Amino acid sequence: MTSNPLWQCSAADVVRALKAGEVSPREALDAAYARIDAVEPSIHAMPTLCPDRAYEQAMQIEADIATKAARRTDPTWLAGLPIAIKDLSDVSGVRTTYGSPIFADHVPTESDFLVQRLEANGAVIIGKTNTPEFGAGGHSFNAVFPTTTTPWKTDRSAGGSSGGSAAALASGEAWLATGSDYGGSLRTPASFCGVVGLRPSPGRVADGPNSVPFESVAVSGPMARTVADTALFLDAMVGRDDRDPRSWPAPDVAFFDALNTPPKTVRAAFSADLGITPIDPEVAAICQAAVSKLSDAGWLISENIPNFTGAMEAFHALRAASFAAGRGAEWADHREALKPEIIWNVERGLNQSGETLATAEQARGALVSRLQTFFETQTLLLAPTACMPPFPADWRYPEALGDAPFTDYMDWLRLPCVLSITGCPVLSLPVGITEDGLPVGLQLCGANGSEHAVLAAAAQAEAILGMLGTTPINPVSPAP
């Protein structure tokens, strides 16, 4: 371990120290809760804490460290590392609101599948991170808790819907935090907070209980400050769960170990707008500069991207159907309590025709086919994570970029949304900082199931671009 405060150390270093007995789980908890006390009032990232439950878990894991030597070499075991859980996931005995006033006092008796796996793999849950209502939207505000802001400038959005997780990571409240992603919900916050977020292939991480178990777009995934820590966390998440019919077995090679074999040649294509969205000029320039550095370092980069025409229309139809299926009960019983964006999404799903949904599925299939052809010769598709830097926290969502209007609360999220429906793993990597001191992320999208390759390339890019060590930071208040 270094002489730095524990909250500044990487998750991988803290796990090594926990396994070696150099740091105890309770000492790690002390550091996490002290940091939360120091910075939480500035960013509102983690509104629900569970210290009694966490210290009880930590004491049990301390006994396991002493008696179960084999686990010390297990790459899936976190050895008592404190982590944060997004408030869309049930944690037994811990207030879980889903960001909705309907569930403001909800305390589940059972944890969801991912939480069960993480606790079995030695994670200690310190609290729940903030999210918009039912995860709807790219900005983490709701009617239950204060709005989450990015620590880079505390009057700006942390993104959403995993904004609480991203802000907690960037400010040092947690070493690892869970995210979930339908239309960029862990990638946009990663970009807005200068951390790493990986949307895995559907089925890579088991989810549930789920009223729509064959949902094919929504996934859960890891968020961390570095690519290595993201790989470490993914190893603790993956594995077959018979309760989730989509779930895959754990891979033979740990994702963390894949970082030991850098890619020999990365072939990639880059577009600042994927041909579908307006883009902030400074964001485009920062991403282009990062891509140029990668090219100078030997990456083979072209502009020959797949055609994304019609992809956003398909996304909207699929998302509407998903909201009608997943949130239809709340719409029927508590419509007056829902935010208008959810009502709009559910009603769009209920009212759209079968022909609309069939057309969307066909368009999605055609896009997947084009991506499959693309990845026959290319390693990655590269694009900005968000079309703009973090926006003012008092906005509900951006209504325009320059002279280009956005038609609804998801329209500004086109860049992550269209990659979601491909079923490909996508990682958001910090690649630069604006003149105003706000972080910018780049998406690295690989072929379905290629998380090892995506992580290895991202680790190489991280080293080339020199963004390691930019988080955690102390929250920055806006200038008066």
The 10s digit of each residue's pLDDT in 352-381 is 999 999 999 999 999 999 999 999 999 999
In-domain check, residue 475: no
Instruction: Provide, rounded to the nearest whole percent, the portion of the chain with pLDDT above 90.
Output: 95
3-state secondary structure of 100: coil
The strand pair at 380-384 and 196-199 is best described as unpaired
**Within 10 Å of residue 350's Cβ, how many Cβ atoms?**
15
Residue 6 DSSP symbol: G
In this predicted structure, what is the pLDDT of residue 480?
A: 77
Q: What is the pLDDT of residue 71?
A: 82
Widest CA span in the chain: 64
* CA 27 – CA 160 distance, rounded (Å): 31
What's the CATH code of the domain at 304? 3.90.1300.10
* 70 located within any domain: yes
Question: How would you class 267 by CB atoms within 10 Å of its CB: exposed for 0-12, middle for 13-18, buried for 19 or more?
Answer: middle
Residues in the chain: 480
Closest C-alpha among 12, 9, 26, 173 to residue 77:
12
| CA angle in degrees (0–180, nearest 5) for 257-227-187 | 130
Owner of token pair 């995934």? 221
Q: Is residue 354 part of a domain?
A: yes
How high is the pLDDT of residue 194? 98
C-alpha to C-alpha distance for 97 and 123, rounded to whole angstroms: 21
Residue with tokens 């690989």: 446
- Asked if the structure places residue 238 within a domain, the reply is yes
201 sits in the region (left: phi over 0; alpha: psi -120 to 50; else beta) called beta
* Domain that includes residue 14, residue range: 9-465
224 bridge partner residues: 176, 196
Residue 303 within any structural domain of the chain: yes
Q: Phi/psi of residue 324, each to 5°?
A: -60, -40
Q: Is residue 471 part of a domain?
A: no
Domains held by the chain: number: 1
Amino acid (one-letter) located at 241: D
User: For 85, phi and psi rounded to 5 degrees?
Assistant: -120, 130
What is d(CA 204, CA 237) in angstroms, rounded to the nearest whole number? 9
- H or E element in which residue 169 lies: helix 163-171
Question: Tell me, what amino acid is at 317?
Answer: A
- Per the domain annotation, does 417 fall within a domain? yes
Q: Is residue 449 a contact partner of residue 246, using CB atoms and an 8 Å limit?
A: no
Residue 480 located in a structural domain? no
- Check: CB of residue 169 under 8 Å from CB of residue 470: no
Q: Report the run of H or E that residue 60 belongs to, with start and end.
A: helix 51-67
Gap between the Cα atoms of 182 and 322, Å rounded = 10
Q: What is the pLDDT along the chain (480 residues), one digit of tens a residue?
A: 667 899 999 999 999 999 999 999 999 999 999 999 999 999 999 999 999 999 999 999 998 777 777 788 899 999 999 999 999 999 999 999 999 999 999 999 999 999 999 999 999 999 999 999 999 999 999 999 999 999 999 999 999 999 999 999 999 999 999 999 999 999 999 999 999 999 999 999 999 999 999 998 999 999 999 999 999 999 999 999 999 999 999 999 999 999 998 898 999 999 999 999 999 999 999 999 999 999 999 999 999 999 999 999 999 999 999 999 999 999 999 999 999 999 999 999 999 999 999 999 999 999 999 999 999 999 999 999 999 999 999 999 999 999 999 999 999 999 999 999 999 999 999 999 999 999 999 999 999 999 999 999 999 999 999 999 999 999 999 877
Q: What is the DSSP letter of 216?
A: S
pTM exceeds 0.85: yes
Active-site positions read: 86, 161, 185
Cα separation, 298 vs 265, in Å, equals 7
- Report the pLDDT value the prediction gives residue 1, as an integer from 0 to 100: 60
* Residue 21, CA atoms < 13 Å, CB-side half-sphere: 8
The Cβ-side half-sphere exposure at 1, using a 13 Å CA radius, reads 20
Using an 8 Å Cβ cutoff, are 465 and 449 in contact? no
